[in-house]
Amino acid sequence: MNATTPTQREPVRTIFQKGAPGRRAFVCPTVDVPAPEVSQLLPERFRRAQPPRLPEVSEPEIVRHYVGISKRNFDLDSGFYPLGSCTMKHNPRLHERVAALPGHARLHPLQDVERAQGALELMWKLQGALAEISGLPYVSLQPSAGSHGELAGVLLTRAYHEDRGESRHKVLAPDTSHGTNPATVTMAGLELVKLATGADGGIDIDDLRAKADEDVACLMLTNPNTLGLFDANIVEIAEIIHGVGATLYYDGANLNAVMGLSRPGDMGFDIVHFNLHKSFTQPHGGGGPGSGPIAVSERIEPFLPVPVIARAADGSFTLEYQRAKSIGRMRGFQGNYGCFVRAYAYICSLGAEGLRDVSEAAVLNANYLLARLRQLGVAEHLPLAYGELCMHEFVLNGGPMKRELKIKTLDLAKRLLDFGFHPPTVYFPLLVEEALMVEPTETETRETLDAFAQAIAAILHEAAEDPMIAQNAPYSTPVRRLDEVAAAKHPVIREALD
Ligand SMILES: Cc1ncc(COP(=O)(O)O)c(C=O)c1O
């Protein structure tokens, strides 16, 4: 298999550096009504002495500018994107058609409830489907991302304990947990206590017993966890947590392994959040807004965010604001409605059996890829970190590769770009040395999985001959190795990059 040839590197210019004074892409019609005073349009304190400088470009220049930038990017529509924990699956075009229907796309967030009955019905039905999938009966669609759903969930837990006159300040989470879990705990004003991972890749039960006490508000858990393993001790874990009066929180960002197969509610969880922009196919990663609904058990329901969608006896829908124990609003309006439409279209077009097929195929694809990598001899340098099989994703240990072939996981990831693949997630979970976390998803073909496995084998083979090739990769991308720390801390977004 050959890497692509290097493309010519053109200088990147911002749209402000293009065009010429007076050039326009759009001509506003002449005002044929009395023009209002500027002061009526914008209060004095918001006005500048000079209007802001805008790009002066023609329509073809705008189109070429943005199409050109988009071609420099790597996206799911152009190639395999096996980011672990992120579920970069195909976004069916049917969903876009449905979301673009005028009744959905032109709905105004301030529309009267009486005139938004169809939208409320769709949201109500989506809530019902998510309740069924999670095994938890009450749903709020409000949160705008997985991490926002987590925050809602931890605030719900806090409100639940406070209502019982308890002040619990600790939240338990395993050392494999997604970075947003500890961040959420801190944002909610609680204290994080980390749980160790046992030899089987699940929670170390002795450590859990030692740390579960009456100061614990909840345990946050992902199952299957970020090692791609289902924690078979979940019933015992739930008993320990409920035994000390705490709640059990399911980080359901990624449900791709379990839809239609197992339900957090049946495992004993009290609260779960979903990432509609993962398992339920919303475009994400810069491709669109997110949505992180939550589902909860009966004892948590009184605390749900307001407004809650309610159905009257005559079948009409209303928004309920008067709920004495609610944690309040998590955001303006009802959430990202376009995400609800797409997720609902996905659930309806697949049905219960189809969702189950999705999860089974996701698990099958991940295990197929793992087996293919083993068959190609990759496991010698990149062994599976824990276990033998996986659920929807797996984590490889890059330690032997680093020691024996002198290339790091980062080098492998960068070299994959030259083979036309987006790299998997790297260096997460933190407890795995030189971690490489791969989630192929159910929408990839066998040929793609084979080609990816061959690319990894080829890179390792190449590194055995000359590690410098991977160490200096990529060669074919518009930019080579970036100073990622500087890029994050001092982003240059208003000047030419070259
Ligand atoms: C396991 C897990 N939990 C939580 C999140 C947070 O979701 P979001 O990025 O939508 O805030 C993610 C995704 O990044 C995740 O993979």
222-277 pLDDT, tens digit per residue, is 999 999 999 999 999 999 999 999 999 999 999 999 999 999 999 999 999 999 99
29-72 residue pLDDT tens: 888 998 888 778 888 888 888 888 889 999 999 999 999 888 88
Tokens coding 322: 């008067």
How far apart CA 280 and CA 345 sit, in angstroms, is 9
pLDDT at 396 over 80: yes
**CB 116 near ligand 1, within 6 Å:** no
Residue nearest to atom 8 of ligand 1 (CA): 146
Least confident of 131-135, 288-292, 356-360, 383-387: 288-292
**CB 290 near ligand 1, within 6 Å:** yes
**CB 372 near ligand 1, within 6 Å:** no
**CB 145 near ligand 1, within 6 Å:** yes
Residue nearest to atom 7 of ligand 1 (CA): 146
State residue 107's pLDDT score.
Answer: 94
For residue 376, CA distances in Å to 369, 401, 451, 456, 458 come to: 11, 15, 12, 9, 10
pLDDT at 438 over 90: yes
Q: What is the mean pLDDT of the chain?
A: 94
State residue 50's pLDDT score.
Answer: 86
> Ligand 1 centre and the CA of 18: distance in Å?
38
**CB 223 near ligand 1, within 6 Å:** no
State residue 498's pLDDT score.
Answer: 42
CB atoms within 10 A of CB 47: 11
**CB 85 near ligand 1, within 6 Å:** yes
Cβ–Cβ < 8 Å for 244, 76: no
State residue 497's pLDDT score.
Answer: 43
State residue 197's pLDDT score.
Answer: 97
**CB 147 near ligand 1, within 6 Å:** yes
How far apart CA 90 and CA 215 sit, in angstroms, is 43
State residue 211's pLDDT score.
Answer: 98
State residue 146's pLDDT score.
Answer: 95
Q: 444-453: b or e for each residue (b if 16 or more CB lie within 10 Å)?
A: beeebbeebb
Backbone angles phi, psi at 62, to 5 degrees: -65, -50
Q: Which atom of ligand 1 is nearest to the CA of 86?
A: 16
> Ligand 1 centre and the CA of 180: distance in Å?
7
Tell me the Cα Rg of the chain.
25
**CB 87 near ligand 1, within 6 Å:** no
> Ligand 1 centre and the CA of 254: distance in Å?
8
pTM: 0.92
Least confident of 28-37, 211-220, 325-334: 28-37
**CB 275 near ligand 1, within 6 Å:** yes
